[in-house]
Amino acid sequence: MYLALISASGAPGVSTTALALALNSPSKNTLLVEADPIGSSPVLAGYLLGGRYHDKSLINLVDANRHGRLKSALASEVITFPDTTVSVLPGLLHSAQVDAMRGVWSPLGIHLAGLAVDDANVIVDAGRIGQHGSPVEMIVSATTIAIVTRTTRPALAALRASINGLRQQLSATQSTASLGLILIGESPYNADEVAKVTGLDVIAVIPDSKDAKVFSDGEVLTKWRRRRSLYLHALHRTTWPKIEKFAATHQADWKSSLAVTGDRR
């Protein structure tokens, strides 16, 4: 499974959700790629509390790609979480580096898709739709593209304004990726209402909970709180099966769009 997470508006929880899904992945091997063009590493600064020195970064793949060493370079740029089979490829050091990635996004996406075929889960934190330097060329190779959003009016308005542009890009490349939503909470609108308004199916709903700070800030919960956390329960038990079911039952989004509109091109 190659899952790309994106957003249409600010701070819906993409990076936190990406890490949470990675650390709860059912796959024997899981890779999280921090590809937000804004740069930095939310995982290392937040979850790992900034306490790990490293020189690993997405930007180091630029030179390797020029010399045909992308595959081997990727393996040397990841950091494995202690006592897990989950690794992270840290993001750009700063946003000024994003233009250098133009020639890397597409081959990197193709390579990640290949890894996903080999019984691994690949999760990409791709940042915000339409942002300068957005890694669209990479995520078009995904199995599923999930737009992470809250259900407030401003969030849904931003989502509706962004969908057509993304669909045009998927259609132009004839991407095989299915497109859906991961909701952070169901307030004030529930999944059915959001699907009706946006025209996109909801993949899963993750509770909007302060317990997400486990992943965003490295907060440690008591055993009592962990056992009773609806947020952690959803991640442990239900979210991945829903993601896998969505991927198995939904075709490429641009094909779905043509079927709905009756476009006979």
Q: DSSP string of 85-122?
A: SEEEE---SSGGGGGGGHHHHHHHHHHHHHHHHTTEEE
pLDDT in tens, 243-262: 999 999 998 866 665 555 44
Provide the Cα torsion 150, 152, 156, 157; round to 10°: -140
Q: Judge whether residue 188 has pLDDT over 70.
A: yes
164-177 mean pLDDT = 94
**Between residues 1 and 119, the one the model is more confident about:** 1
Tokens of 251: 């075709």
How far is 259 from 199, CA to CA, in rounded Å?
13
pTM: 0.93
pLDDT at 264: 38
pLDDT classification of 217: cutoffs 50, 70, 90: very high
pLDDT band for position 11 (cuts 50, 70, 90):
confident
pLDDT tens-place string over residues 70-100: 999 999 999 999 899 999 999 999 999 999 9
Percent of the chain with pLDDT over 90: 87
Between CA 144 and CA 139 the distance in angstroms is 9
Please give the CATH topology (third level) of the domain spanning 2-256: Rossmann fold (3.40.50)
Q: What is the structure's pLDDT at 89?
A: 97
pLDDT at 12: 80
pLDDT at 257: 57
Q: What is the pLDDT of residues 237-248, one digit of tens each?
A: 999 999 999 999
- CB neighbour class for 51 (10 Å; exposed up to 12, middle 13-18, buried from 19): exposed
Name the 3-class secondary structure at 212.
helix
pLDDT-based confidence at residue 265 (cuts at 50, 70, 90): very low
Mean pLDDT of all residues belonging to the chain: 93
